[in-house]
Amino acid sequence: MSHNDFIRLRDQFFADVDPSAVRRMERQREENKAAYHRMLDENKIARLKAKQEKEGELSGKNKKDFDRLTERLKGQGVDVDSIEPDEHAGAAGKRKKKKDEDVQQVASVMTAAMMIASSSLRPAWV
């Protein structure tokens, strides 16, 4: 393969893989990772705030976590005071809440089915 053919093929297939594109992609990946961890920290702060409202004062480990996360988020420029207390912040709380709703729905369907089965009304064709 001649050098000119090699250059043409490289430009055709690998034009978007120059060093600046690779650095841009790595920088974007790091930003996404930082945003994800910031979201996790904000969710934990929201859960701890809800727990603090419910119980009054946080226990030793929870207080340490709250202080550590507050400092970390303030260092990242997040206004911790604007985070609302939410007992079900994050995916784990939503899954549990959804599971509870599913169980209630199944229970209501089962109750209705049992009521129909135990009723004295029978269709004429039975």
By C-alpha distance, which of 38, 126, 52 is closest to 86?
52
Domain that holds residue 19: 3-87
Is residue 103 situated within a structural domain?
Answer: no
Given a cut of 60, whether residue 92 has pLDDT beyond it is no
Mean pLDDT of 24-50: 93
Mean pLDDT of 98-120: 73
- Residue 17 domain flag: yes
How many domains is the chain built from? 1
Whether the predicted pLDDT of 14 surpasses 70: yes
Residue 125 belongs to some domain of the structure: no
pLDDT digits (tens, 9 = 90+) for 51-81: 999 888 888 899 999 999 999 999 999 898 9
Q: Is the residue at 74 inside a domain?
A: yes
Residue 126 in domain? no
The strand ranges marked E within 25-104 are none
φ and ψ of 15, to 5 deg = -70, -30
